[in-house]
Amino acid sequence: MKRLMTGIVIFDDIEVLDFCGPFEVLSVTRLNEARRREEPSPFDVRLIAPQGKNVTTAGGMQVLAQHTFADTPPLDILVVPGGWGVRRELENPAMAPWLRQQAQQVTLLTAVCTGSMLLGQAGLLDGHHATTHWKSLDWMRQTFPGIQVDAQHHVVEDGHIITSAGISAGIDMALRIVARCWGEDVATATARHMEYLPNQENIRRV
């Protein structure tokens, strides 16, 4: 089994559940539930920070990234979370070029909450359907008029791009990653292991 290299971007003032939700989903996924303790997840999940590896979340949690932008391994999947720190990262000159570079090689490009604003700034959502935290929908519309903003769904799939609404919606988004990569049965088993009930009616596939 080739494990899919999955990068989750983290930065100061990131929302904890924005990245921990997808991290948990992807790290507890198993292809063989009966061998949960013997076999690893089919996702090799790495935390990636723009510069230094030490990150402080919006709630004060200290997190240590495994990589920086400078030493990112080749990725199959990219997850871009959100939080208050997005406003600072929109001014980070390294962010948009790095996102564009990663977008050229990943098979799935995803964002949680206001992480979609970072994809928007990089021009990666132009002409696509996307969503973000409900408090930031107008911000997205006004800042990036080329995005077809979806205010009705918690998860929006547009080709290889998946975006979600705020915070806890990232769990549903990550389960869609599992389903896209390994099938609906594996996604269902993952949600059941987490004792999580996904809201399938709130997902839009374009």
What tens digit of pLDDT does each residue of 74-112 get? 999 999 999 999 999 999 999 999 999 999 999 999 999
- Rounded CA-CA distance 81/69 in Å is 15
- Rounded CA-CA distance 46/172 in Å is 19
| pLDDT value of residue 203 | 73
Dihedral sign for Cα 68, 70, 74, 78, please: positive
Judged against a pLDDT cut of 80, whether residue 51 lies above it is answered with yes
What tens digit of pLDDT does each residue of 52-64 get? 889 999 999 999 9
Which residues lie across from 55 on neighbouring strands? 63
Judged against a pLDDT cut of 90, whether residue 146 lies above it is answered with yes
**Neighbour order of strands in the sheet with 108-112:** 67-68, 43-49, 4-9, 77-80, 108-112, 161-164, 155-158, 203-205
Can you read off the two tokens belonging to residue 51? Answer: 């510069």
pLDDT bracket for residue 4 (50, 70, 90): very high
Judged against a pLDDT cut of 90, whether residue 174 lies above it is answered with yes
| pLDDT value of residue 132 | 98
DSSP 9: E
The residue extents of the domains of the chain are 4-205
Structural contact between residues 21 and 112, judged by C-beta atoms closer than 8 angstroms? yes
Over residues 24-35, mean pLDDT: 94
Over residues 144-160, mean pLDDT: 97
Judged against a pLDDT cut of 90, whether residue 23 lies above it is answered with yes
- Secondary structure of 132-145 in HEC code, one letter for each residue: CCHHHHHHHHHHCC
The structural architecture, per CATH, of the domain 4-205 is 3-Layer(aba) Sandwich (3.40)
Q: Mean pLDDT, the chain, as a whole number?
A: 96
- How does strand 43-49 pair with strand 108-112? unpaired
Q: Check residues 205 and 100 and name the one with the higher pLDDT.
A: 100
Helix, coil or strand: residue 40: coil
Q: Can you tell me which residue has the tokens 């929006």?
A: 156
Active site positions, annotated: 113
